[in-house]
Amino acid sequence: MRIVTLLVYDSPAQTGTGPRPRLPAFDFFLRRGRTTQHSELDPVAWLCSRYGLAPDPDWPVAPLLARTARLASVHPVWLCADPVHIRLDSRRLTVIPASALSLSKAEGGELVDALDRHFSPRGQRLFAFDRDRWLINSSLPARIDSGPLPGISSDAGRILASGPDAGHWNGFLNEAQMLLHAHPVNAARQARGEPEINSLHLWGAGSNPLPKAPDRLVVSDDPLTLALGATSGAIIAGTAAELLDRMQTETDASALIVRRASGESSSVADHLVAIDRDWLAPMLQHLRGRRLDCLELVIPQAPGMLGHKVTGSAFWMFWKRLPPFSRITEARIE
């Protein structure tokens, strides 16, 4: 069978409180698809599980990213160190991720260089993987139980590590916070009225994961998906059209598409409209024309992930009616 799975990091339920965008292809999947509950709690866990990886105790995201970025691995352990802002208000401490902080590449580079100079003599090298994610190459084990930060903000309690090696890494975190607080980049940001980068979120530690190869083709704007696909030997396509063209030469193949958005809820809505128009709609046309055999849309839906699977017969299921997105949390589980 020619099967395409499309994972979207953002659910239509996350588009905010304003008018919901028109998403006819998403609506078709929700109305006509067979819905299944995936046990994984977030897209990162879903992706790693699909490629045969297991948490130990966290998902080994950092070494995959480091390998695809061709970063020099001096030490055996890698972990993600995402720059964040911890905000104190009258009720609680909140963590704001870098994606919502307008951190420039130059600012990030200066902060990473300072951290690297400070910690490298002790066996921890720091690298800027991209604007919103930094990586640590460590000589010490990092068995900490963590995970990616959800959404635009979260409880600051997630910053402190737990697990067998939590003591060392919480000490590292405290020292890094003091260095960041005193850095000129943060002084300049504070003078401009911008939130400082005053902490790190440590997660995704591992050494040398070996992903399995469930997909023949992969296309994505997500670094983790590209790392999993490249490491497992998948063909990396650039567009939906290229993937569909390649699928025509296959009689039995699985393909994975992953799209993600970040930022405020309004940009999530715009991103979902683009996915609906540029990715889901062409896939459905190929399914209707029997050039694909099965499509599955996977989206986050607490307490896990929901999959909505359709085949060619879905175009004749006129009796399956569901108001667009109004009952997304009441999807039937089969």
Q: Which domains does the chain have, with CATH numbers?
A: 2-53+212-330 (3.40.720.10), 61-206 (no CATH)
**Roughly how many angstroms between the first and final C-alpha of the chain, as a whole number?**
21
Query: Average pLDDT of 86-100?
Result: 83
The dihedrals phi and psi of 261, each to the nearest 5 degrees, come to -135, 165
Strand 199-206 relative to strand 154-155, pairing: unpaired
For the chain, the average pLDDT equals 87
Dmax over CA atoms of the chain, in Å, equals 67
pLDDT, tens digit, for every residue of 152-190?
556 655 677 888 999 999 999 999 999 999 999 999 999
pLDDT, tens digit, for every residue of 234-266?
999 988 889 988 888 888 889 999 987 654 445
pLDDT at 39 over 70: yes
pLDDT, tens digit, for every residue of 299-311?
988 778 889 999 9
Using alpha carbons, select from 66, 60, 36, 34 the residue that is nearest to residue 48. Answer: 60
pLDDT at 270 over 90: no
The dihedrals phi and psi of 179, each to the nearest 5 degrees, come to -65, -45
Per the CB < 8 A criterion, the answer to whether 236 and 223 are in contact is: no
pLDDT at 20 over 80: no
Percent of the chain with pLDDT over 90: 59
pLDDT of 329 reads 37
Query: Taking phi first (over 0 means left), then psi (-120 to 50 degrees means alpha), and beta for anything else, what does residue 232 get?
Result: alpha
Query: Average pLDDT of 313-322?
Result: 66
Query: Average pLDDT of 268-292?
Result: 90
pLDDT at 14 over 70: no
Percent of the chain with pLDDT over 70: 88
The dihedrals phi and psi of 274, each to the nearest 5 degrees, come to -65, -40
pLDDT of 334 reads 35
Residue 284 tokens read as 């459905």
Q: Which residue has the tokens 């409880």?
A: 155
pLDDT at 288 over 70: yes
Q: DSSP assignment, residue 213? A: -
Q: DSSP assignment, residue 13? A: G
**Lowest mean pLDDT: which of 25-29, 109-113, 202-206?**
25-29
pLDDT at 3 over 80: yes
Helix pair angle (223-232, 43-50), 10° resolution: 0
The dihedrals phi and psi of 188, each to the nearest 5 degrees, come to -70, -40
pLDDT of 161 reads 80
